[in-house]
Each structure stands twice: as C-alpha cells, then as structure tokens.
Amino acid sequence: MASLFLLFLLLLLLPCALLILLYFFVRPRPIKIPIKDRHVFITGGSSGIGLALARQATLDGARVSILARNPNKLEDARASIRQSTGADVAVFSADVRDADAVRHAIEKAGPVDVLICNHGVFAAQKLESQDLEAAKFMIDVNLTGTINLIKAALPGMKNRGDRGPASIAMISSQAGQVGVYGYAAYSASKFGLRGLGESLQQELIGDNIHVSLIFPPETDTPGQSQDLKTRPELCNIIVASSSPMKPDEVAAVTLNGIKSGTFSVACNFDGVMLSVATAELLKDGTYKKNRNRCRAVICLQIIWAKTIGEAPKDVKYCVRQSK
C-alpha cells in the first residue's frame, strides 16, 4: 500500500517539477528599452496619437523626429510641442507610400533607436459599396507604408553599436484584433501588421531590436471625427460597445509598452479581453501568463461567439430600418 502511495506521489510530483523547471528555462528576461537621450522617430506625428506620442517622448528626454504629409500641420505640431515642453523636434514631410521619400527622410533624420509607425487612414463603408481605390489606399498607407518605413530605418537601427536595445512599434487597432462591420479593408490592413510584427520579431531579435504591436480602441482624433460623419449606423452601434480613449492616454500606454519590450499592447480592459478572446498568445507571453490566458480563453470565446452570433440580427435590423 505504501509503495502505491509513493508511486502516486511520484507520478503527481514529477510533472509538477518538470513544469517548474520548464518555466525557469523558457521565461523571458525582463527588457528595458530606454527613451531618454535616444532618437524616437514617429510617423503621423502632426496630430492625434502621433502628436501625443511626440510630446510625451520629448518630456521623457528623447530626441524626437516626426513625419507627416502636410508641412503646415508639421510646423503647427512643432510649435505646439515647443510650447508645452520647451524642447524642439525635427519635422519631415513625406508620404509613407513613397519609399524613396521615406528613405530620404530617415537618412536626413539619422539612425533611429525607436521607430513608431503611427500613420493610418480609415473609411467606414461596406466593402461591396466601397470604391476599390479607397480600399487600396488604406492598404497602401497602413501596411505598405509601414513596410517602407521599416525597410528604410533598419540599416541604421542594426548599425547602432552599443546603444542598447531598439524598438519598432506599430499602431494597429482593435479592428486589427477582430473584424468589424464596415471596416473590411481597414481591418485587413491592420491584421497585416500582426503578421508583419510576428515575422519581424523573429528576424530582428538577434539584433536586439524588439517589436511592439499597439491595439488602441476608438480614439478622439481628427480622423475619427471625420469618420463619424460618414460611417454606417451599424458601425456606431458596434463601436459604442468599446470605451473611447484620448490620444494622451493611448500615447502613455504605448510608450510604457515600448519601454518594457512588450509585443502585444492592449490599451484598455476591452482590448485585454479581445486579446484573450481571440487567443492572442503572442511573443511577449511568459509561461504563467499564457497558461492563465488559456484558462480564460474558453470562457471568453463562448461569450465572443454569442456576440458574433447576435451580429447578423443587428445587421438585418439596420437593413430593414434603412428601407
């Protein structure tokens, strides 16, 4: 009887011991990516989240460069940052779709330590009704433009010497975690950033360059204000279920995620739940964190499945109301 009890204990304790041993082998080391006295290059930096990022990074002691298309808005942003921080930033006018213009701006700005790809465009409309050029424009700016920037910045980032770990951060969206009615092309462009980010993390980790994906909810920006005027009513119903954020709030979460080398950065509670509900077990997860996510994912996916199941009823209701 005693031998059976000892065998039972052995069978019970051995897996536990192996799991503990595995945890100590696979847990990632804490990462600290400094901002102070480093070059932070931010696209879409003339307004909204980009401007808030530039302001906060400047206050953190970074040397900041911002890029956008409109020269006048860039100068307004520079004046605003100077007034609120007492420091100057470098400004560069370029369209992210133009690889040569982007490369020239990066070369002029100098080697980048932290690249924040914040630019983005969106227009809510059913794909069937949306002009093909409008859909292509979103993909060209949001996805191809990001690739142009990263390719331009990588040579300098890889040759930065002993200046510590570097970072590439991409501002995605909660529409890059789950598809949203009326945002088919936009969601496709933002989902593409996740594949880009996961691949880059594998390609660049040997160069001590870390990748972060940021998933903000609807944010009070000039672009969002314009979108409100034209998007379908069902979009308003869906988006109303997520709490909006201010640009400064998103910027603070983003910079904290960059500094800690976090791969997947949710900006609010809804975003955290989306990460779990969509089984987003990404590169920054420790064993313990992913184990807990696995436990929660079953419950949350049941809830999410019910939510998705209710969506067709909402669509049918809106169609009937529009007739």
Give me the active site residues, please.
Answer: 172, 186, 190
CA–CA separation, 117 vs 185, rounded Å?
19
Residue 306: Cβ-neighbour burial (10 angstroms; 0-12, 13-18, 19+): exposed
| Pair 267, 249: CB distance under 8 Å | yes
| Identity of the residue numbered 251 | A
CA nearest 168: which of 29, 310, 40, 274? Answer: 40
Provide the 3-class DSSP secondary structure of residue 285: coil
> Side-chain half-sphere of 241: how many Cα atoms within 13 Å?
13
Question: Which residues 6+ apart lie within 8 Å of 221 measured at CB?
Answer: 47, 48, 49, 247
| Identity of the residue numbered 194 | R
Handedness of CA 302, 268, 29, 198 (dihedral sign): positive
Question: Which residues 6+ apart lie within 8 Å of 53 measured at CB?
Answer: 42, 45, 116, 118, 251, 254, 255
Q: At what angle do helices 99-109 and 145-158 cross, to 10 degrees?
A: 30
Q: What own/partner pairs with CB < 8 Å and gap ≥ 24 does 302-305 have?
A: 303/277, 304/277, 304/278
Question: Which residues 6+ apart lie within 8 Å of 86 measured at CB?
Answer: none
**Euclidean distance between the first and final Cα of the chain, in Å?**
77
| Identity of the residue numbered 55 | R
